Structure 1
Amino acid sequence: MSDRTVDRVAEATPERVARKIRGLSDRAIAWIFISPTIFLLLAINIFPLIWTIQLSFTNYKANRIGREVKDVGLRNYERILTDSDTWLNMQATAHFLFWTIFFQVLIGFTLAWLINKKFKGNDLWTTIIVLPMMLSPAVVGNFWKFLYQPQIGLFNYIVSWFTGKDPSSFEMLGSVTLAPWAIVIVDTWMWTPFVMLICLAGLRSIPDYIYEAAEIDRASKLRQFFTITIPMVLPFLMLAVLFRGIENFKMFDLVVQLTGGGPGSVTELTSINLKREAFEKWRTGYASAYAIILFVTVFGLASIYVKALNKVKQR
């Protein structure tokens, strides 16, 4: 801001307001500026969380406003933790988390390492690779659902070309065995570019003089990769795992677009089950307890993971 602009603002400020401002400390002025943001965060984040915790101890149902709300104590939590379906959903979520993160990190890091070589057409290929993550999950879900169709799906013809079997015999989304892997493939295709960009930032943050010093010491390319590249990119890899783990734990839209939560419970992730309890069965108190359990699980695991990440950064 120029001096002339400052002078104009000072002249336009009423004398009474100006005297009050002059009497405030820098800390008080800072609080005046950030207080609206703090209030907004409290209204959007803290209040719903406190209200959800309160509802989790009741039998409240959102579709029955006039019904008497009774305090049920820890009954909702007990029912959730002793329900076998809950643990099946957790198992399906864990399967989805592990394999999507594994493939996204593996493929994402490989692509980042190749792009970092700065070959001809580097920028063009980077743009093409990043395109999937720019699309809406609803669009991606419908697009891949078409590719998985038994009769006309392109994916089935590709698989049949490798296996020599009839394309109509592959029921990716209708098979209990193949449906989870169909979702893993789609999520990996969509979000591998995100991991690639984080890894690429890590690779390009490594100073060239470190590799030059290693070459002077006659270190092989393989040794440079495992003693320089991997250790220095590891914090970025761990950060990518953290982001994708949190996002995939609450994955909902893409799975619903592809399978609708079926077949059976193999693709019934915790987020989908939570949605059904809250907005199909209208068991709001029960769903609130479910949400609190998921929140504590994610928050606890993320806290442990962040501590490990900080230790890696300090090395």
Structure 2
Amino acid sequence: MTDETTSRVHTTAPVRLARQIRGLSDRAVAWIFIAPTIFLLLAINIFPLIWTIRLSLTNYRANRTSADLEWVGLRNYQRILNDPDIWNSMQATAHFLLWTLVLQVLIGFTLAYLINKKFRGNDMWTTIIVLPMMLSPAVVGNFWTFLYQPQIGLFNYVVGFLTGADPSSFSMIGDVALAPWSIVIVDTWMWTPFVMLICLAGLRSIPDSIYEAAECDRASKWRQFWTITIPMALPFLMLAVLFRGIENFKMFDLVVQLTGGGPGSITELTSINLKREAFEKWRTGYASAYAVILFVTVFGLASIYVKALNKVKER
């Protein structure tokens, strides 16, 4: 092949390719770009979910791959729903969810409301408040475990003083009544800045002209807060609750770092219980059914919540 022929091939090939692309419809071009993403979603999300549902209907054990696989149907689901330990972990998770969401929303919105007021050092204080959420949960867990230790833990001295306990031997994470609250405190300290940032975005999206019109109508600051600030910032508040609710329902690493799931089962959340069934007892089929139940619970509650959020946005 001569140099002239080679140059013709190189020049005509892109032209032919361009003509072929031009002949495609917009829908076909869109599918060409979307297809890799859809394939990744199917491979990473949908296929593992289908495989988990399949395993949940069997007695499969990951440490006994050579054993005969028995089809048990819905027996795993029945055992889970009738297991009192499962319901205790659900109750512990609900307690953790409720108080972390309440505290984080109240404190986060308060901080956002204060920071939204322009004052000297505004940016510096915002950066300082946001620092905890930049840390790794493992680092936070070890740091707060040190604070909860007897003799040197600051919280132990405060709680010991209030309850009359000896600070040299008292530990919040070792007390049955206070261990859940020790986790709530740490999670609130770490993730309240996240809620604050979302609330701050909501507050700064409110036009100043609305407040100016309310002042012209002689509305008090308190009335402006309840009739303008809260209603217009409510979708952002609900969005923060949705994000933190989903994340806290899956909470695992921070609890393990602080308490290891103890004392007893008082801090054994659903994620810790699921890990124990799957990787300590090696009941993979049972754990798969447990995971499916948790997924359906979160998905159902989140769907209902999103519908309520959309209704609030439409107002």
Say yes or no: TM over 0.5: yes
User: Secondary structure of 1:156's match?
Assistant: helix
Residue in 1 that maps onto 2:170: 170
Distance (Å, rounded) in 1 between the aligned partners of 2:272 and 2:226 = 40
Which stretch of structure 1 is more off in the superposition, 147-156 or 93-102?
Answer: 147-156
For residue 177 of structure 2, what is the amino acid of its counterpart? T
Q: Report the equivalent of 1:104.
A: 104
Shift of 1:154: 2.5
- Counterparts of 1:204-283 in structure 2, within 5 Å, are 204-283=204-283
Q: Which amino acid aligns with 2:260?
A: G
Q: Cα distance, 1:161 vs. partner?
A: 6.0
Query: Quick one: distance in 1 between partners of 2:223 and 2:13?
Result: 66
Pair 1:88-2:88 in alignment: yes
User: Which residue does the alignment assign to 1:61?
Assistant: 61
Q: Counterpart of 2:155?
A: 155
Tell me whether 266-275 or 150-159 shows the greater mean CA deviation: 150-159
CA RMSD of aligned residues (A): 1.6
Q: For residue 14 of structure 1, report the CA deviation from its aligned partner.
A: 2.4
Q: 1:114 to 1:75 in 2, by over 3 A?
A: same
Give the equivalent residue in structure 2 for 1:140: 140
Superimposed CA distance per residue, residues 129-173 of structure 1 (whole angstroms, 9 cap, x where no aligned partner): 000000000000000000000122122234456677642253201
Other structure's SS at 1:19 match: helix
1:23 lines up with 2:23 in the alignment: yes
**C-alpha distance in 1 between matches for 2:91 and 2:11:** 66
2:150 corresponds to 1:127: no
Report the equivalent of 2:78. Answer: 78
1:55 maps to amino acid: L
Normalised to the residue count of structure 1, the TM-score between the two structures is 0.94
For each residue in 1:52-94, what CA deviation from the matched residue of structure 2 results, as whole angstroms up to 9, or x when unmatched? 0000000001111111110001100000000000100000000
What letter matches 2:95 in structure 1? H
Structure 2 equivalent of residue 5 of structure 1: none
Partner of 1:294: 294
Quote the residue 1:45 is aligned against.
Answer: 45
Match of 2:307 in 1: 307
Q: CA deviation at 1:198?
A: 0.3
Unaligned 5+ segments in structure 1 are 1-9
Determine the C-alpha separation between the residues in 2 that align with 1:68 and 1:165: 55
Q: How far apart are the structure 2 equivalents of 1:19 and 1:62? A: 53
Aligned to 1:203: 203
Gaps of 5+ in 2: 1-9
Q: Deviation string for 1:70-124 (max 9, x for gaps)?
A: 0001100000000000100000000000000000000000000000001110000
Distance 1:73 1:308 in 2: 35
Which secondary structure does the structure 2 equivalent of 1:14 belong to?
Answer: helix
Secondary structure of the 1:168 match is coil
CA gap of 1:134–1:11, structure 2 versus 1, over 3 A, is farther
Q: State the number of aligned residues.
A: 306
Shift of residue 34, structure 1, vs aligned partner: 1.1
Deviations 1:235-284 (A, max 9, x none): 10000000000000000000000000011111000000001111111111
Change in CA separation of 1:165 and 1:69 when aligned onto 2, cut-off 3 Å: closer
**C-alpha separation between the residues in 2 aligned to 1:94 and 1:251?**
12
Amino acid at match of 1:140: V
More off after superposition, 229-238 vs 11-20 = 11-20
Alpha carbons of 1:228 and 1:12: their partners in 2 closer, same or farther (altered >3 Å)? farther
